Homo-oligomer: A and B are copies of this chain.
Amino acid sequence: MENSFTEENYLKAIYKLSRKGDSGVSTNALAERMDTKASSATDMIKRLSTKKLVDHKKYQGVTLTEKGRKVAVDIIRKHRLWEVFLVEHLGFGWDEVHDVAEQLEHISSPLLVERLDRFLNHPKYDPHGGPIPDAEGNFPAPARIKLDELPLGKQSKVLGVTEHSDSFLAYLKKVGLDLGQAFTLTDRHDFDRSVEILLNGETLHVSHDVAKHIFVAN
């Protein structure tokens, strides 16, 4: 009942594609991500489906089952732990680690992962800032602050809000500040405490009244 490297890579891809876009992952999107053909993706979807790692209805896209999610998150955990090791102990640059970690993430040994985690002192984030899930698959609560406290020039993304009125949410939707939306804080105006952010190539002006209600990644 072992999963092949390929199966693991598909599961990871499905997991990541699920994050953005809430519904099932399309065959095409998956194939593109895996740098392969749609027919190959279909084949793999069937295989994963018989192993109860994904749910799939024909022409409807795939979603991970709880079992599949566990596998995917565990791969991510291993990937990020190895990245920490490579950068902090072997002197790799943050841009050199990905390909190697891509191989190491498939090493199958719970004992190894546990001891590596301890050796690294239970890191919560990888060298790119990616959160490292624990052995149970829980991600650390993301460090978050309000948008009006974000340092100038910092990249971030929307994590949540403290104001839930329809009009506020409608406004956010209209200007494109959806949950998970990435942006960069490009300017800050002290006179009214408003900020300017760059999202999807557009500059957006955000008043302090709005900014103070938005949680963003730190």
Contacts and interface: CB of A to CB of B under 8 A. Distances in A.
A115 interface: yes
Q: Per DSSP, are chain A's interface residues mostly helix, strand or loop, or mixed?
A: helix
Contacts of A89: 119
A109 B115 contact: no
A99 B96 CA distance: 27
B116 A90 contact: yes
A96 B111 contact: yes
B107 A90 contact: no
Interface string A111-123: 1100110010000
Contacts of A92: 111, 115
**In which size bucket is the chain A interface?**
10 to 19
A107 B104 contact: yes
Contacts of A100: 107, 109, 111-112
Nearest to A103: B107
Given A90-B115, A100-B111, A103-B109, 15 more contacts: A86-B112, A89-B119, A90-B112, A90-B116, A90-B119, A91-B115, A92-B111, A92-B115, A96-B111, A99-B109, A100-B107, A100-B112, A103-B107, A103-B108, A104-B107
